[in-house]
Amino acid sequence: MVDSGARGRTAGSPADPPLHRNPDYRRYWVARAAAVFGSQVTYISFPLLALTIAESPLGASFVTVITYGVPFLASLPAGALADHFSRRRIMVLADLANAAIYLALGVAIMAGSLSIELLAFAAAAVAASSAAYLSASTALLPSLVGVSKVRRAASVNDSRDFAIALVGPIVGAGLFLYRPELPFLANGGAFLLSGAVISTVRAGRGRTSQAGERLRLRTALRGLQIVGRDRSLRVALMALSLLSFVLTMNFFSVVAYFETRGETIGAGIVVAAQALGGLLGGLLAAGLSTRLNPRVVYLAQASMWLITSVTMILHQQVWTMAIVLCLTWMVTPSMRAVYQGYVAEAVVEEERGRVASAAQLATSTMSPLGVLVAGILSGDGSLAPFWTMAGVAGATIMLLLVGTSRRRDRFLEAA
């Protein structure tokens, strides 16, 4: 349930050690660094491989739709599992499953036996295990660092992820051009390392207080019930789902645009520019996350996507796209930090996994649609995807202006 008194009880807990002196958080950080590096190496390689096999943007888009669509089905069960079983064990098993999948993909590419159907199956399996991992890791973070340090930890995590993403896509594109199986073999090894390190984390070994509760449909739906009763979460997740549509549509449209022009490295440069923006934004959010106005942060993110879409319509050059996307992604870590901090403060510990799964459901509802629409509209240098992105970003701005106008809102109106 939403705990309206949680803020006052946990905001300044002196027992929580600094992040750099917290051994469990350091292990968590290193494990995620390994997995994120591997994932970034295949971030560009996966859609490039799909485009190569399918030989058309529309055919390749269905593989990416699966990548974003499977969490729609898996998120609610994943949240229930995270509130029922050991969160650390779920993370380890998910890492090992992803390692096996990526290593198998690499072997299939070397053997020349990879088909679009096998690639789609692998994408679905990775998406399902990643959904379980995300619910467990999000719910575990407050237990690792303490509720009072969740916003800062979320910002530090984003800074790490975006720093790795600065080089990961370019490395992945280069490896793919040299030998297409190399990015997938590297990612498999990275997930093996992540699972080994996360297994040494002490927090999250036991079951939560919900362990005695039977896993039923209403148990999985609990996260949606919590969100439905909290107006702040409803508006925030609606905005997040619309922005997820824009984000995934932008990613696939940019990759398809440069691929059709034979400029694979250009796609890597643009994605790396996004990472630079996220890194800079994460560094800023780490110091400002406790003082940021969430409503302003959300409006800034939607406004930047609108500006980015219009800029791409007017000027489709590599460095222009790179600059505007860098600026847009500078806002993203702040938006994530204020949201995660609110959930940690307002939702009781044994229900955080299901609230995290509700957030996954909200974003995964629109993410595959963004990819599918991009696949339909892309081709021959069409600007239709960027016009669509501009329209959705504008609609998000209107939602935030209208939906967060009441002063009684505890989150999106908070100073």
Contact 325, 274 (CB under 8 A): yes
Distance of CA 242 to the CA centre of its chain: 14
Q: Long-range contacts for 287-291 (Cβ within 8 Å, ≥24 apart)?
A: 288/334, 289/151, 289/152, 289/154, 289/155, 289/334, 289/337, 289/338, 289/341, 290/151, 290/152, 290/341
Q: What is the mean pLDDT of residues 135-148?
A: 88
Contact 126, 98 (CB under 8 A): yes
Contact 370, 248 (CB under 8 A): yes
> Tokens 């590096």 — which residue?
37
List the beta bridge partners of residue 2: 347
Separation of alpha carbons 157 and 337, rounded Å: 10
Separation of alpha carbons 278 and 258, rounded Å: 22
Q: How many residues does the chain have?
A: 415
Q: What is the mean pLDDT of the chain?
A: 81
The more confidently predicted of residues 151 and 213 is 151
Task: Give the pLDDT confidence score for residue 274 in this predicted structure.
Answer: 81
**In the chain, where are the structural domains located?**
23-200+219-403
Separation of alpha carbons 400 and 90, rounded Å: 35
The more confidently predicted of residues 398 and 258 is 398
Give the model's confidence band at 213: pLDDT under 50 very low, under 70 low, under 90 confident, else very high.
low
Task: Give the pLDDT confidence score for residue 155 in this predicted structure.
Answer: 87
Separation of alpha carbons 333 and 283, rounded Å: 9
Q: What is the mean pLDDT of residues 263-292?
A: 78
List the beta bridge partners of residue 347: 2
Task: Give the pLDDT confidence score for residue 340 in this predicted structure.
Answer: 83
The more confidently predicted of residues 297 and 406 is 297
Residue 415, pLDDT above cutoff 50: no
Tokens of 103: 């290593």
Separation of alpha carbons 402 and 101, rounded Å: 45
How many Cβ atoms sit within 10 Å of the Cβ of residue 382? Answer: 16
Residue 408, pLDDT above cutoff 80: no
Fold of 23-200+219-403: Growth Hormone; Chain: A; (1.20.1250)
Q: Which one-letter DSSP state was computed for residue 214?
A: -
Tokens of 64: 């990416």
Tokens of 232: 């702040």
The more confidently predicted of residues 362 and 414 is 362
142-146, 206-210, 314-318, 373-377: which range is least confident on average? 206-210
Residue 348, pLDDT above cutoff 60: yes
Residue 183, pLDDT above cutoff 50: yes
Contact 240, 362 (CB under 8 A): yes
49-58, 85-94, 100-109, 132-141: which range is least confident on average? 49-58
80-84, 371-375, 377-381: which range is least confident on average? 377-381
Residue 95, pLDDT above cutoff 90: yes
To the nearest whole percent, how much of the chain has pLDDT over 70?
85
Residue 215, pLDDT above cutoff 80: no
Task: Give the pLDDT confidence score for residue 1 in this predicted structure.
Answer: 47
Contact 141, 271 (CB under 8 A): no
Contact 127, 202 (CB under 8 A): no
Q: What is the pLDDT of residues 184-211, one digit of tens each?
A: 999 999 999 999 999 999 876 555 545 4
Separation of alpha carbons 170 and 292, rounded Å: 33
Task: Give the pLDDT confidence score for residue 362 in this predicted structure.
Answer: 77
Contact 389, 243 (CB under 8 A): no
Tokens of 374: 């991009």
Task: Give the pLDDT confidence score for residue 205 in this predicted structure.
Answer: 59
> Tokens 């690792």 — which residue?
144
Task: Give the pLDDT confidence score for residue 344 in this predicted structure.
Answer: 82
Task: Give the pLDDT confidence score for residue 15 in this predicted structure.
Answer: 62
Nearest Cα residue to 150 out of 306, 340, 399, 385 = 340
> Tokens 């469990």 — which residue?
24
